[in-house]
Amino acid sequence: MPITRNRTVIRTTLLAAAGLSAVGVLSGCSTAASTPAQGSSDSGSTSRASSSSASSSPTSDASSGATSASDDNGASSSAAAGSGSGTYKNGTYTEQGTYSSPGGQELISVQLAIHDDAVQAVTVKTVKADPTATSYEAKFIGGISSAIVGKKIDDLHVTNVAGSSLTSQGFDDALTKIKSDAADD
Amino acid sequence: MPPTTERLRFSAIGTVWSITTDRPLAGDAQHAISERIETFDAVWSRFRPDSLVSRIARVPGRHAFPDEAGPLFDLYRRLGLATHGRVNPLVGHRLENLGYDAGYSLVASADPVGVPAWDAVARWDGTALTTTEPVLVDVGAAGKGYLVDLVCGVLDDFGVDEYVVDAGGDLRHRGGTPVRVGLEHPTDPSLAIGVIELENAALAASAPNRRVWGDGLHHVIDGVTGMPTRTVAATWALAPTGLEADGLATALFFAGPDELVSALPASPFEAVRMLASGSVETTPFFEPALFFATAAVRDRSLDGSSAR
Protein backbone atom coordinates (compact mmCIF):
# COMPACT_ATOMS: atom_id res chain seq x y z
CA MET A 1 0.00 0.00 0.00
CA PRO A 2 2.24 2.80 -1.15
CA ILE A 3 1.11 6.20 -0.11
CA THR A 4 0.48 8.01 -3.32
CA ARG A 5 0.91 11.67 -3.62
CA ASN A 6 -2.09 13.10 -5.27
CA ARG A 7 -3.69 16.05 -3.77
CA THR A 8 -5.14 18.03 -6.57
CA VAL A 9 -8.41 16.21 -6.57
CA ILE A 10 -10.53 16.70 -3.53
CA ARG A 11 -13.99 15.31 -3.68
CA THR A 12 -16.81 16.56 -1.58
CA THR A 13 -19.56 14.10 -1.02
CA LEU A 14 -22.22 13.38 1.47
CA LEU A 15 -21.73 10.47 3.75
CA ALA A 16 -24.18 7.69 4.20
CA ALA A 17 -26.41 7.26 7.19
CA ALA A 18 -23.66 8.59 9.30
CA GLY A 19 -24.34 12.26 8.64
CA LEU A 20 -23.81 14.46 11.62
CA SER A 21 -27.14 16.09 11.28
CA ALA A 22 -28.85 12.75 11.56
CA VAL A 23 -27.95 12.28 15.16
CA GLY A 24 -30.96 11.41 17.23
CA VAL A 25 -30.13 11.54 20.84
CA LEU A 26 -30.79 8.51 22.92
CA SER A 27 -30.72 9.87 26.36
CA GLY A 28 -29.56 7.44 28.91
CA CYS A 29 -31.44 4.23 29.15
CA SER A 30 -34.99 5.24 28.61
CA THR A 31 -34.82 4.60 24.93
CA ALA A 32 -33.32 1.18 25.28
CA ALA A 33 -36.57 -0.66 25.33
CA SER A 34 -38.50 1.73 23.20
CA THR A 35 -36.37 1.93 20.08
CA PRO A 36 -36.91 -0.32 17.08
CA ALA A 37 -35.98 -3.69 18.20
CA GLN A 38 -38.77 -6.11 18.25
CA GLY A 39 -35.86 -8.42 17.99
CA SER A 40 -35.19 -7.87 21.60
CA SER A 41 -38.34 -9.60 22.66
CA ASP A 42 -38.21 -12.71 20.59
CA SER A 43 -35.38 -14.42 22.27
CA GLY A 44 -33.36 -12.76 24.93
CA SER A 45 -31.78 -16.08 25.51
CA THR A 46 -28.43 -14.98 26.67
CA SER A 47 -26.87 -16.12 29.81
CA ARG A 48 -25.95 -12.64 30.83
CA ALA A 49 -28.36 -9.82 30.67
CA SER A 50 -31.62 -11.17 29.51
CA SER A 51 -34.01 -8.97 27.66
CA SER A 52 -35.98 -8.47 30.79
CA SER A 53 -33.29 -6.21 32.01
CA ALA A 54 -33.70 -4.07 28.98
CA SER A 55 -36.65 -2.33 30.43
CA SER A 56 -34.43 -0.45 32.62
CA SER A 57 -33.50 1.71 35.46
CA PRO A 58 -30.46 3.72 34.75
CA THR A 59 -27.71 2.29 36.79
CA SER A 60 -29.20 -0.61 38.60
CA ASP A 61 -29.88 -2.76 35.61
CA ALA A 62 -26.54 -1.84 34.19
CA SER A 63 -24.86 -3.37 37.15
CA SER A 64 -26.71 -6.56 36.52
CA GLY A 65 -24.85 -6.74 33.27
CA ALA A 66 -22.63 -9.15 35.01
CA THR A 67 -19.19 -9.48 33.65
CA SER A 68 -16.92 -7.18 35.39
CA ALA A 69 -14.67 -4.56 34.00
CA SER A 70 -11.71 -5.68 32.06
CA ASP A 71 -8.23 -4.89 33.11
CA ASP A 72 -6.50 -2.29 31.08
CA ASN A 73 -3.47 -1.85 33.19
CA GLY A 74 -0.52 -3.58 31.76
CA ALA A 75 -2.30 -6.83 31.38
CA SER A 76 -1.41 -8.77 28.30
CA SER A 77 -4.21 -10.54 26.60
CA SER A 78 -4.89 -11.83 23.18
CA ALA A 79 -7.29 -10.05 20.94
CA ALA A 80 -10.74 -11.50 20.98
CA ALA A 81 -11.55 -12.49 17.47
CA GLY A 82 -15.20 -13.38 17.66
CA SER A 83 -16.71 -15.82 15.26
CA GLY A 84 -15.95 -14.84 11.74
CA SER A 85 -18.97 -16.48 10.22
CA GLY A 86 -21.19 -13.91 11.84
CA THR A 87 -24.31 -15.53 13.15
CA TYR A 88 -25.73 -14.24 16.36
CA LYS A 89 -28.76 -15.13 18.35
CA ASN A 90 -31.48 -12.56 18.37
CA GLY A 91 -31.82 -10.83 21.66
CA THR A 92 -30.85 -7.95 23.81
CA TYR A 93 -27.44 -8.03 25.32
CA THR A 94 -25.89 -5.91 27.99
CA GLU A 95 -22.24 -5.74 28.84
CA GLN A 96 -19.92 -3.48 30.69
CA GLY A 97 -16.58 -2.12 29.72
CA THR A 98 -14.03 0.23 31.10
CA TYR A 99 -12.17 3.09 29.63
CA SER A 100 -9.48 5.31 31.00
CA SER A 101 -10.39 8.94 31.27
CA PRO A 102 -8.00 11.55 32.57
CA GLY A 103 -9.98 11.29 35.79
CA GLY A 104 -9.39 7.58 36.16
CA GLN A 105 -11.08 4.36 35.22
CA GLU A 106 -14.69 4.67 34.20
CA LEU A 107 -17.31 2.03 33.79
CA ILE A 108 -19.86 2.13 31.02
CA SER A 109 -22.65 -0.24 30.15
CA VAL A 110 -23.47 -1.00 26.55
CA GLN A 111 -26.72 -2.59 25.51
CA LEU A 112 -27.32 -3.97 22.04
CA ALA A 113 -30.45 -5.33 20.50
CA ILE A 114 -29.57 -7.82 17.78
CA HIS A 115 -31.93 -9.15 15.17
CA ASP A 116 -30.96 -11.11 12.07
CA ASP A 117 -27.29 -10.46 12.70
CA ALA A 118 -27.80 -6.72 12.65
CA VAL A 119 -27.71 -4.23 15.44
CA GLN A 120 -31.15 -2.77 15.95
CA ALA A 121 -30.46 -0.45 18.85
CA VAL A 122 -27.61 0.63 21.02
CA THR A 123 -27.69 2.22 24.41
CA VAL A 124 -24.71 3.34 26.36
CA LYS A 125 -24.93 4.22 30.01
CA THR A 126 -22.53 5.47 32.56
CA VAL A 127 -22.45 3.05 35.42
CA LYS A 128 -20.22 5.12 37.58
CA ALA A 129 -18.57 8.29 36.52
CA ASP A 130 -16.35 10.63 38.36
CA PRO A 131 -17.26 14.29 37.98
CA THR A 132 -14.54 15.21 35.54
CA ALA A 133 -15.57 12.45 33.21
CA THR A 134 -19.22 13.35 33.11
CA SER A 135 -18.94 15.86 30.33
CA TYR A 136 -17.13 13.42 28.09
CA GLU A 137 -19.58 10.70 28.86
CA ALA A 138 -22.50 12.94 28.15
CA LYS A 139 -21.21 13.67 24.68
CA PHE A 140 -20.47 10.05 24.02
CA ILE A 141 -23.89 8.91 25.01
CA GLY A 142 -25.54 11.78 23.21
CA GLY A 143 -23.75 10.84 20.05
CA ILE A 144 -25.22 7.38 19.79
CA SER A 145 -27.81 7.63 17.10
CA SER A 146 -30.40 5.71 15.22
CA ALA A 147 -27.99 5.74 12.29
CA ILE A 148 -26.51 2.52 13.58
CA VAL A 149 -29.54 0.47 12.63
CA GLY A 150 -28.69 -2.16 10.07
CA LYS A 151 -24.92 -2.21 10.49
CA LYS A 152 -23.53 -5.69 10.91
CA ILE A 153 -21.43 -6.27 13.98
CA ASP A 154 -18.63 -7.79 11.97
CA ASP A 155 -18.50 -4.71 9.85
CA LEU A 156 -17.74 -2.72 12.94
CA HIS A 157 -14.98 -4.95 14.14
CA VAL A 158 -11.65 -4.31 12.59
CA THR A 159 -8.18 -4.82 13.96
CA ASN A 160 -7.87 -1.21 15.06
CA VAL A 161 -9.91 1.92 14.96
CA ALA A 162 -8.60 5.36 14.11
CA GLY A 163 -10.62 7.72 16.20
CA SER A 164 -10.37 10.29 18.87
CA SER A 165 -12.24 8.65 21.65
CA LEU A 166 -11.03 7.56 24.98
CA THR A 167 -14.40 6.02 25.31
CA SER A 168 -14.24 3.71 22.36
CA GLN A 169 -11.93 1.36 24.17
CA GLY A 170 -14.49 0.68 26.84
CA PHE A 171 -17.16 0.47 24.22
CA ASP A 172 -15.12 -1.97 22.22
CA ASP A 173 -14.47 -4.12 25.27
CA ALA A 174 -18.16 -4.33 25.91
CA LEU A 175 -18.91 -5.00 22.27
CA THR A 176 -16.40 -7.84 22.17
CA LYS A 177 -18.02 -9.46 25.16
CA ILE A 178 -21.43 -9.05 23.63
CA LYS A 179 -20.21 -10.73 20.49
CA SER A 180 -19.00 -13.74 22.38
CA ASP A 181 -22.19 -13.82 24.44
CA ALA A 182 -24.27 -13.79 21.31
CA ALA A 183 -22.22 -16.04 19.06
CA ASP A 184 -23.88 -19.28 18.10
CA ASP A 185 -21.53 -22.16 18.64
CA MET B 1 -6.18 -12.69 10.04
CA PRO B 2 -2.93 -10.82 10.57
CA PRO B 3 -0.22 -12.59 12.48
CA THR B 4 -0.17 -9.80 15.04
CA THR B 5 -2.23 -11.38 17.75
CA GLU B 6 -0.50 -10.60 21.03
CA ARG B 7 -1.99 -7.48 22.50
CA LEU B 8 -0.52 -5.42 25.29
CA ARG B 9 -2.87 -2.86 26.77
CA PHE B 10 -2.19 -0.11 29.23
CA SER B 11 -3.14 3.44 30.05
CA ALA B 12 -0.69 6.29 29.67
CA ILE B 13 -0.73 10.02 28.89
CA GLY B 14 -4.48 10.06 29.34
CA THR B 15 -5.32 7.48 26.75
CA VAL B 16 -5.51 3.76 26.22
CA TRP B 17 -2.61 2.11 24.45
CA SER B 18 -2.69 -1.12 22.54
CA ILE B 19 0.44 -2.69 21.16
CA THR B 20 -0.16 -5.69 18.95
CA THR B 21 2.75 -7.92 18.06
CA ASP B 22 3.27 -11.32 16.46
CA ARG B 23 4.72 -12.76 19.66
CA PRO B 24 4.54 -11.80 23.32
CA LEU B 25 6.67 -8.86 24.33
CA ALA B 26 9.42 -9.71 26.78
CA GLY B 27 9.30 -8.07 30.16
CA ASP B 28 12.31 -5.88 29.47
CA ALA B 29 10.73 -4.62 26.25
CA GLN B 30 7.58 -3.72 28.14
CA HIS B 31 9.66 -1.97 30.73
CA ALA B 32 11.55 -0.02 28.08
CA ILE B 33 8.27 1.08 26.53
CA SER B 34 6.91 2.43 29.78
CA GLU B 35 10.25 4.14 30.46
CA ARG B 36 10.12 5.79 27.05
CA ILE B 37 6.61 7.07 27.64
CA GLU B 38 7.49 8.31 31.11
CA THR B 39 10.56 10.18 29.81
CA PHE B 40 8.45 11.85 27.15
CA ASP B 41 5.75 12.75 29.63
CA ALA B 42 8.30 14.29 32.00
CA VAL B 43 9.31 16.75 29.30
CA TRP B 44 6.08 17.53 27.48
CA SER B 45 3.14 17.07 29.82
CA ARG B 46 1.52 20.36 30.73
CA PHE B 47 -0.51 18.46 33.29
CA ARG B 48 2.55 17.79 35.45
CA PRO B 49 4.02 20.63 37.53
CA ASP B 50 7.45 18.97 37.38
CA SER B 51 7.60 18.72 33.59
CA LEU B 52 9.96 20.81 31.50
CA VAL B 53 7.13 22.65 29.76
CA SER B 54 5.60 23.51 33.14
CA ARG B 55 8.93 24.94 34.25
CA ILE B 56 9.17 26.99 31.07
CA ALA B 57 5.69 28.29 31.78
CA ARG B 58 6.94 29.64 35.11
CA VAL B 59 10.40 30.85 34.14
CA PRO B 60 11.24 32.49 30.81
CA GLY B 61 14.75 32.06 29.51
CA ARG B 62 16.88 29.47 27.76
CA HIS B 63 15.82 25.87 28.28
CA ALA B 64 17.71 22.90 26.88
CA PHE B 65 15.60 20.07 25.45
CA PRO B 66 16.42 16.43 24.80
CA ASP B 67 17.18 15.39 21.22
CA GLU B 68 13.63 14.22 20.64
CA ALA B 69 12.45 17.85 20.60
CA GLY B 70 14.05 18.66 17.25
CA PRO B 71 11.64 16.88 14.90
CA LEU B 72 8.65 17.99 16.97
CA PHE B 73 9.48 21.70 16.96
CA ASP B 74 10.47 21.43 13.30
CA LEU B 75 7.10 19.99 12.36
CA TYR B 76 5.30 22.68 14.35
CA ARG B 77 7.29 25.33 12.51
CA ARG B 78 6.36 23.85 9.15
CA LEU B 79 2.70 23.45 9.99
CA GLY B 80 2.63 26.95 11.48
CA LEU B 81 3.91 28.37 8.21
CA ALA B 82 1.48 26.36 6.11
CA THR B 83 -1.51 27.39 8.24
CA HIS B 84 -0.48 31.02 8.70
CA GLY B 85 0.05 30.60 12.40
CA ARG B 86 -3.11 28.69 13.18
CA VAL B 87 -1.11 25.64 14.28
CA ASN B 88 0.87 27.02 17.20
CA PRO B 89 2.33 25.11 20.17
CA LEU B 90 1.85 28.12 22.44
CA VAL B 91 -1.88 27.53 22.88
CA GLY B 92 -1.27 26.06 26.35
CA HIS B 93 -2.22 29.02 28.51
CA ARG B 94 -5.19 29.75 26.32
CA LEU B 95 -6.37 26.17 26.74
CA GLU B 96 -5.90 26.44 30.49
CA ASN B 97 -7.86 29.66 30.56
CA LEU B 98 -10.63 28.06 28.60
CA GLY B 99 -10.81 25.35 31.22
CA TYR B 100 -8.68 22.54 29.82
CA ASP B 101 -6.21 22.64 32.66
CA ALA B 102 -4.39 20.15 34.82
CA GLY B 103 -7.31 19.98 37.21
CA TYR B 104 -9.81 19.62 34.36
CA SER B 105 -11.80 22.53 35.75
CA LEU B 106 -13.56 22.77 32.39
CA VAL B 107 -14.62 26.26 33.34
CA ALA B 108 -13.59 29.08 31.06
CA SER B 109 -12.30 32.23 32.67
CA ALA B 110 -14.11 35.44 31.80
CA ASP B 111 -11.18 36.93 29.94
CA PRO B 112 -8.88 34.22 28.63
CA VAL B 113 -5.44 35.22 27.41
CA GLY B 114 -4.67 35.23 23.72
CA VAL B 115 -2.20 32.95 21.99
CA PRO B 116 1.21 34.60 21.54
CA ALA B 117 2.77 34.39 18.11
CA TRP B 118 5.70 31.98 18.21
CA ASP B 119 8.24 34.32 16.65
CA ALA B 120 7.33 37.09 19.06
CA VAL B 121 8.18 35.23 22.24
CA ALA B 122 10.13 32.05 21.45
CA ARG B 123 13.17 30.93 19.51
CA TRP B 124 14.23 27.33 18.89
CA ASP B 125 17.90 26.93 18.00
CA GLY B 126 17.95 23.18 17.55
CA THR B 127 18.88 22.28 21.09
CA ALA B 128 17.26 24.86 23.33
CA LEU B 129 14.15 26.98 23.48
CA THR B 130 14.59 30.58 24.50
CA THR B 131 11.48 32.36 25.68
CA THR B 132 10.99 36.00 26.55
CA GLU B 133 7.85 35.60 28.60
CA PRO B 134 6.11 32.77 30.44
CA VAL B 135 4.56 30.62 27.74
CA LEU B 136 2.94 27.23 28.02
CA VAL B 137 3.97 24.85 25.27
CA ASP B 138 1.26 22.40 24.31
CA VAL B 139 2.22 19.71 21.83
CA GLY B 140 -1.24 18.23 21.71
CA ALA B 141 -1.32 18.67 17.94
CA ALA B 142 1.42 16.15 17.25
CA GLY B 143 2.91 14.89 20.49
CA LYS B 144 0.88 11.71 20.77
CA GLY B 145 1.70 10.60 17.23
CA TYR B 146 5.34 11.38 17.88
CA LEU B 147 5.31 9.29 21.01
CA VAL B 148 3.90 6.45 18.92
CA ASP B 149 6.99 6.77 16.72
CA LEU B 150 9.27 6.72 19.74
CA VAL B 151 7.59 3.59 21.10
CA CYS B 152 7.92 1.99 17.65
CA GLY B 153 11.62 2.79 17.92
CA VAL B 154 11.81 0.84 21.15
CA LEU B 155 10.15 -2.14 19.47
CA ASP B 156 12.60 -1.86 16.58
CA ASP B 157 15.47 -1.88 19.07
CA PHE B 158 14.15 -5.10 20.54
CA GLY B 159 14.00 -6.73 17.13
CA VAL B 160 10.23 -6.69 16.85
CA ASP B 161 9.36 -6.25 13.19
CA GLU B 162 5.63 -6.97 13.04
CA TYR B 163 3.52 -4.66 15.14
CA VAL B 164 0.77 -2.09 15.48
CA VAL B 165 1.23 0.62 18.08
CA ASP B 166 -2.10 2.27 18.81
CA ALA B 167 -2.28 5.21 21.19
CA GLY B 168 -6.00 5.73 21.59
CA GLY B 169 -6.72 5.91 17.90
CA ASP B 170 -3.43 7.24 16.51
CA LEU B 171 -1.53 4.26 15.20
CA ARG B 172 1.45 3.05 13.26
CA HIS B 173 2.01 -0.30 11.61
CA ARG B 174 5.14 -2.17 10.64
CA GLY B 175 5.34 -5.57 9.04
CA GLY B 176 4.48 -7.71 6.08
CA THR B 177 0.78 -8.07 6.72
CA PRO B 178 -1.42 -4.98 6.55
CA VAL B 179 -4.07 -4.45 9.18
CA ARG B 180 -7.64 -3.33 8.64
CA VAL B 181 -8.38 -0.11 10.45
CA GLY B 182 -11.79 1.48 10.83
CA LEU B 183 -12.24 5.22 10.67
CA GLU B 184 -14.33 5.96 13.71
CA HIS B 185 -17.41 8.07 13.17
CA PRO B 186 -16.85 11.27 15.13
CA THR B 187 -20.14 11.23 16.97
CA ASP B 188 -20.79 7.52 17.15
CA PRO B 189 -17.87 5.28 18.05
CA SER B 190 -19.88 2.20 17.25
CA LEU B 191 -19.77 3.17 13.59
CA ALA B 192 -16.97 3.43 11.12
CA ILE B 193 -17.18 5.80 8.17
CA GLY B 194 -14.69 3.68 6.27
CA VAL B 195 -12.04 1.00 6.49
CA ILE B 196 -8.49 1.15 5.20
CA GLU B 197 -5.61 -1.25 5.10
CA LEU B 198 -2.65 0.16 6.97
CA GLU B 199 0.78 -1.08 6.00
CA ASN B 200 4.09 0.37 7.08
CA ALA B 201 2.59 3.77 7.70
CA ALA B 202 0.91 5.80 10.39
CA LEU B 203 -2.71 6.87 10.64
CA ALA B 204 -3.90 9.59 12.97
CA ALA B 205 -7.37 10.85 13.70
CA SER B 206 -8.62 13.96 15.35
CA ALA B 207 -12.14 14.77 16.42
CA PRO B 208 -12.65 17.25 19.20
CA ASN B 209 -16.21 16.31 20.01
CA ARG B 210 -15.29 13.64 22.50
CA ARG B 211 -13.64 16.23 24.65
CA VAL B 212 -16.07 19.09 24.68
CA TRP B 213 -16.96 21.30 27.56
CA GLY B 214 -18.76 24.57 28.12
CA ASP B 215 -20.21 26.34 25.14
CA GLY B 216 -18.71 24.38 22.31
CA LEU B 217 -15.25 24.55 23.82
CA HIS B 218 -12.78 21.87 22.86
CA HIS B 219 -9.07 21.35 22.61
CA VAL B 220 -8.34 22.14 18.98
CA ILE B 221 -7.54 25.83 19.23
CA ASP B 222 -6.93 28.22 16.37
CA GLY B 223 -3.59 29.85 17.12
CA VAL B 224 -4.69 33.09 15.50
CA THR B 225 -8.17 33.59 16.90
CA GLY B 226 -7.65 31.60 20.08
CA MET B 227 -11.01 29.96 19.53
CA PRO B 228 -11.89 26.30 19.06
CA THR B 229 -12.41 25.34 15.45
CA ARG B 230 -15.97 24.78 14.33
CA THR B 231 -16.19 24.01 10.66
CA VAL B 232 -14.41 20.65 10.71
CA ALA B 233 -15.81 17.77 12.71
CA ALA B 234 -13.10 15.16 12.28
CA THR B 235 -9.91 14.51 10.35
CA TRP B 236 -7.72 11.58 9.42
CA ALA B 237 -4.23 11.63 7.97
CA LEU B 238 -2.04 8.85 6.62
CA ALA B 239 1.69 9.53 6.55
CA PRO B 240 5.00 7.71 6.94
CA THR B 241 5.33 8.60 10.62
CA GLY B 242 3.02 9.17 13.55
CA LEU B 243 4.50 12.62 14.06
CA GLU B 244 3.53 13.69 10.58
CA ALA B 245 0.15 11.97 10.61
CA ASP B 246 -0.84 13.46 13.96
CA GLY B 247 0.38 16.94 13.05
CA LEU B 248 -1.48 16.79 9.75
CA ALA B 249 -4.65 15.58 11.41
CA THR B 250 -4.60 18.72 13.53
CA ALA B 251 -3.56 21.04 10.71
CA LEU B 252 -6.46 19.74 8.60
CA PHE B 253 -8.76 21.64 10.92
CA PHE B 254 -7.23 24.80 9.51
CA ALA B 255 -6.22 23.96 5.97
CA GLY B 256 -6.96 21.53 3.16
CA PRO B 257 -4.51 18.82 2.16
CA ASP B 258 -3.37 20.83 -0.84
CA GLU B 259 -2.38 23.70 1.41
CA LEU B 260 -0.32 21.41 3.64
CA VAL B 261 1.92 19.95 0.97
CA SER B 262 4.37 22.77 1.50
CA ALA B 263 4.78 21.74 5.12
CA LEU B 264 5.90 18.22 4.24
CA PRO B 265 7.48 18.36 0.81
CA ALA B 266 9.36 15.10 1.30
CA SER B 267 6.54 13.08 2.82
CA PRO B 268 3.66 11.76 0.79
CA PHE B 269 0.45 11.84 2.75
CA GLU B 270 -3.26 11.28 2.36
CA ALA B 271 -6.10 12.93 4.18
CA VAL B 272 -9.82 12.95 4.74
CA ARG B 273 -11.90 15.31 6.75
CA MET B 274 -15.50 15.42 7.74
CA LEU B 275 -17.05 18.85 7.93
CA ALA B 276 -19.59 19.95 10.49
CA SER B 277 -22.14 19.98 7.67
CA GLY B 278 -21.74 16.21 7.32
CA SER B 279 -19.93 16.33 4.00
CA VAL B 280 -16.56 14.73 3.49
CA GLU B 281 -13.44 15.86 1.69
CA THR B 282 -10.92 13.21 0.76
CA THR B 283 -7.76 12.58 -1.16
CA PRO B 284 -7.90 9.68 -3.61
CA PHE B 285 -6.41 7.05 -1.35
CA PHE B 286 -9.26 7.24 1.12
CA GLU B 287 -12.04 7.53 -1.42
CA PRO B 288 -12.63 3.83 -2.07
CA ALA B 289 -12.35 3.17 1.66
CA LEU B 290 -15.25 5.40 2.65
CA PHE B 291 -18.84 4.22 3.05
CA PHE B 292 -20.71 6.51 0.73
CA ALA B 293 -24.43 6.79 0.40
CA THR B 294 -24.94 5.51 -3.11
CA ALA B 295 -25.98 1.90 -3.30
CA ALA B 296 -23.25 0.75 -5.66
CA VAL B 297 -20.49 2.11 -3.54
CA ARG B 298 -22.05 0.89 -0.36
CA ASP B 299 -22.33 -2.64 -1.71
CA ARG B 300 -18.69 -2.59 -2.55
CA SER B 301 -17.69 -1.36 0.85
CA LEU B 302 -19.78 -3.92 2.67
CA ASP B 303 -18.32 -6.58 0.47
CA GLY B 304 -14.83 -5.46 1.27
CA SER B 305 -15.37 -5.45 4.97
CA SER B 306 -17.14 -8.74 5.44
CA ALA B 307 -15.40 -11.45 7.37
CA ARG B 308 -13.69 -14.15 5.45
Do the chains contact at B18 and A175, CB–CB below 8 Å? no
Q: Give me the pLDDT at residue B75, please.
A: 95
Looking at beta carbons, which residues of chain A come within 8 Å of B4? 159
Length of chain A, in residues? 185
**Range of weakest confidence among B53-57, B58-62, B206-210:** B206-210
Predicted TM-score of the model (pTM): 0.62
> Is this prediction's ipTM beyond 0.85?
no
Average pLDDT taken over every residue of chain B: 81
Q: Indicate the residue of B7, B274, B308 with minimum beta-carbon distance to A77.
A: B7
Coil vs helix vs strand at A107: strand
Mean pLDDT (whole number) for B23-32 = 93
Mean pLDDT (whole number) for B197-226 = 68
Do the chains contact at A156 and B234, CB–CB below 8 Å? no
Q: Give me the pLDDT at residue B203, please.
A: 97
Predicted confidence band of residue A26 (pLDDT cuts 50, 70, 90):
very low
Q: What is the pLDDT of residues A45-83, one digit of tens each?
A: 333 333 333 333 333 333 333 333 333 333 333 333 333
For residues B133 and A33, which has the higher predicted lDDT (pLDDT)?
B133
Q: In chain B, which residue's Cα lies nearest the Cα of A16?
A: B293
Mean pLDDT (whole number) for A90-110 = 64
Could you tell me if B292 lies within 8 Å of chain A, comparing CB atoms?
A: yes
Domains and CATH numbers, chain B: 176-298 (3.10.520.10)
Q: Looking at this protein, which amino acid is placed at residue B51?
A: S
Given a cut of 80, is residue B130 above it in pLDDT?
Answer: yes
Quickly count: other Cβ atoms within 10 Å of residue A31's Cβ.
Answer: 17
Given a cut of 60, is residue A19 above it in pLDDT?
Answer: no
Distance between B93 CA and the closest CA of chain A, angstroms? 19
Q: Looking at this protein, which amino acid is placed at residue A156?
A: L
Predicted confidence band of residue B195 (pLDDT cuts 50, 70, 90):
confident
For residues A121 and B269, which has the higher predicted lDDT (pLDDT)?
B269
Q: Give me the pLDDT at residue B123, please.
A: 93
Q: Give me the pLDDT at residue B244, please.
A: 96
Q: Give me the pLDDT at residue A100, please.
A: 55
**Range of weakest confidence among A27-41, B74-88, B145-159, B237-251:** A27-41
Predicted confidence band of residue B95 (pLDDT cuts 50, 70, 90):
low
Mean pLDDT (whole number) for B76-93 = 86
Do the chains contact at A168 and B233, CB–CB below 8 Å? no
Do the chains contact at B9 and A72, CB–CB below 8 Å? yes
Predicted confidence band of residue A144 (pLDDT cuts 50, 70, 90):
very low
Q: How far apart are CA A98 and CA B209, in angstroms?
A: 20
Q: What letter does residue A80 receive in the DSSP assignment?
A: P
Q: Give me the pLDDT at residue B112, please.
A: 61
Mutation for A interface: B7, B11, B20, B235, most A CBs within 10 A: B11
